[in-house]
């Protein structure tokens, strides 16, 4: 990392030494002197809003206006008016003419955050601005010119959005002349504790109290957590600990209370100290397969015993009974082979599979209560945040996309 990159980090408050992050900063610095459109991509909470500022401040437009627009926060019925302006009487309530952001920011930079949320009609208008710098106010017929640099950002999978017809493909290619991808926090293991210490120090000054510190086990736990909310979630955890905890030394047990669903992605009762994420996932899948196989095998044994009984044996040919017995034997052999193969990778497998069976049986009985609890938590979060999905997702510690899927799954009315 060269001195210029370090200077940019200090200037814009970016913390971390991750190589992918450094590469993203370097791309932003190189594209800044041009007027090329840039698309910043990454999960919610990774800090995408810093990169349009870097691009603007290092460009020849830095003395002109910089306007940031959250496209997802503006109602569909008014977004055209916000971006392009309107004439007096263009719609109900338009008592006077109004300039839009593209007119106000002429000569400067516009940052379109959550650009994937734009309605298709607005996407057509935006495409025209990108192609020839022209736009028309709502309710007007006169074409106006603007000279703006557009930097957009999104946390959506744009390819899927294009396939579903929610985003125009031609607009995507216009916006993403240069794409800057910001890595999620879970891929920046070396930076997690560094960021936490910075946040803890900031909150100690803000609330006039000693800085909280993590012991070694808590640091390991911090690095092992998935951080679906990324830097925003990490900052919230640091603030909660700073305000709520009297002790300034934080243990791993205490930290767990502030990390929602810490064990939700792992099999029950599994020793995971030396396992990678990929290996854990593979093991969880195999546990499930073997558990289901055990159920099938028990059912098949019942059927076979029933067929072999004196009352039913006469009704079936001997070769039919042999077929069932052979099938039962085949399943037994397959199950044994899977266990032997996997036990070579994980010596604790035999004991863990029995624990998994027990946990799965309990889980089946608790399915309804877990469903109800999840539904209750989602509803409460949405109520506290006035139905705003993004804010509710942050509070729940999940991505906005996951929350949207849960809302659909539980058929929650907003």
Q: Are residues 296 and 374 in the same domain?
A: no
pTM above 0.75, yes or no: no
Q: What confidence score (pLDDT) does residue 363 get?
A: 47
Work out how many domains the chain is built from and give that number: 4
> Quick one: 164 and 34 in the same domain?
yes
DSSP 92: T
Q: Cβ(247)–Cβ(316) under 8 Å?
A: no
H-run or E-run covering 250? strand 249-250
55/107 same-domain check: yes
Closest CA to 159 of 147, 146, 168: 168
Instruction: Say whether both 110 and 81 belong to one domain.
Output: yes
Residue 35 lies in a domain: yes
What does the alpha-carbon distance between residue 349 and residue 343 come to, in Å, rounded to a whole number?
Answer: 6
- Residue 83 and residue 32 share a domain: yes
Give 207: exposed, middle or buried? Use CB within 10 Å, 0-12, 13-18, 19+: exposed
Domain span at 194: 186-256
Same domain? 10 vs 75: yes
Q: With contact defined as beta carbons under 8 Å apart, do 113 and 69 qualify?
A: yes
Q: How far apart are CA 80 and CA 129, in angstroms?
A: 13
22/95 same-domain check: yes
Residue 340 covered by a domain = no
Are residue 42 and residue 115 in the same domain, yes or no? yes
Considering the domain architecture, whether residues 113 and 241 belong to the same structural domain is answered as no
Coil, helix or strand at residue 68: strand
Asked if 147 and 189 touch (Cβ cutoff 8 Å), the reply is no
CA 70 – CA 388 distance, rounded (Å): 14
**Alpha-carbon distances of 160 from 32, 154, 326, 403, rounded to whole Å:** 29, 13, 46, 18
Pairing between strand 66-70 and 109-113? Answer: parallel
- 3 state SS of 151: strand
Distance CA(72)–CA(86), nearest Å, equals 20
Query: Is position 201 within any domain?
Result: yes
Within-domain flag for 343: no
Contact by Cβ (8 Å): 153, 114? yes
Q: Three-state SS for 350? A: helix
Helix residue ranges, H only, 208-274: 216-224, 230-244, 252-256
pLDDT in the model for residue 151: 98
Sequential pLDDT tens for the chain (414 residues): 577 899 999 999 999 999 999 999 999 999 999 999 999 999 999 999 999 999 999 999 999 999 999 999 999 989 999 999 999 988 888 889 999 999 999 999 999 999 999 999 999 999 999 999 999 999 999 999 999 999 999 999 999 999 999 999 999 999 999 999 999 999 999 999 999 999 999 999 999 999 999 999 999 999 999 999 999 999 999 999 999 999 999 999 999 999 987 654 443 343 444 444 445 555 555 555 665 666 666 666 666 666 555 544 444 445 555 555 555 555 555 555 554 454 444 555 455 555 445 445 444 444 445 667 777 888 888 888 888 888 888 887 788 778 887 887 777 876
282: tokens are 């593979």
């Amino acid at each position: 990392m060269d001195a210029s990159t370090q200077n940019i980090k200090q200037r814009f408050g970016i913390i971390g030494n991750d190589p992918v992050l450094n590469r993203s900063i370097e791309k932003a610095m190189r594209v800044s002197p041009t007027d090329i459109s840039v698309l910043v991509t990454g999960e919610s909470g990774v800090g995408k809003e810093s990169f349009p500022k870097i691009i603007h401040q290092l460009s020849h437009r830095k003395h002109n206006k910089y306007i940031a627009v959250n496209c997802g926060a503006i109602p569909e019925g008014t977004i055209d008016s916000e971006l392009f302006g309107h004439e007096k009487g263009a719609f109900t309530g338009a008592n006077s003419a109004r300039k839009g952001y593209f007119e106000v920011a002429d000569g400067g930079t516009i940052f379109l955050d959550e650009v994937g949320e734009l309605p298709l009609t607005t996407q057509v208008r935006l495409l025209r601005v990108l192609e020839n710098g022209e736009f028309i106010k709502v309710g007007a017929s006169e074409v106006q010119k603007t000279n703006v640099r557009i930097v957009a950002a999104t946390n959506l999978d744009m390819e899927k959005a294009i396939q579903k017809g929610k985003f125009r493909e031609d607009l995507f290619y216009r916006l993403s002349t240069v794409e800057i991808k910001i890595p999620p926090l879970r891929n920046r293991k070396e930076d997690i504790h560094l960021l936490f210490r910075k946040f803890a120090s900031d909150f100690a000054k803000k609330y006039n109290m000693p800085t909280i510190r993590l012991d070694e086990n808590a640091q390991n736990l911090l690095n092992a957590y998935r951080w679906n909310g990324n830097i925003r979630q990490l900052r919230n955890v640091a603030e909660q600990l700073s305000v709520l905890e009297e002790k300034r030394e934080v243990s791993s047990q205490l930290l767990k209370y502030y990390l929602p669903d810490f064990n939700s992605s792992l099999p029950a009762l599994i020793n995971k100290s030396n396992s990678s994420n990929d290996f854990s996932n593979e093991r969880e899948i195999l546990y499930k397969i073997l558990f289901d196989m055990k159920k099938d095998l028990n059912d098949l044994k019942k059927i076979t015993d029933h067929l072999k009984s004196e009352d039913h044996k006469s009704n079936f040919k001997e070769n039919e009974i042999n077929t069932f017995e052979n099938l039962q034997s085949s399943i037994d052999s397959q199950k044994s082979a899977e266990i032997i193969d996997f036990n070579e990778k994980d010596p604790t497998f035999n004991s863990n599979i029995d624990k998994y069976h027990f946990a799965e049986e309990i889980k089946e009985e608790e399915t309804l209560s877990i469903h109800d609890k999840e539904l209750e938590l989602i509803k409460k979060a949405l109520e506290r945040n006035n139905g705003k999905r993004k804010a509710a997702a942050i509070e729940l510690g999940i991505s906005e996309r996951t929350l949207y899927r849960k809302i659909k799954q539980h058929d929650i009315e907003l």
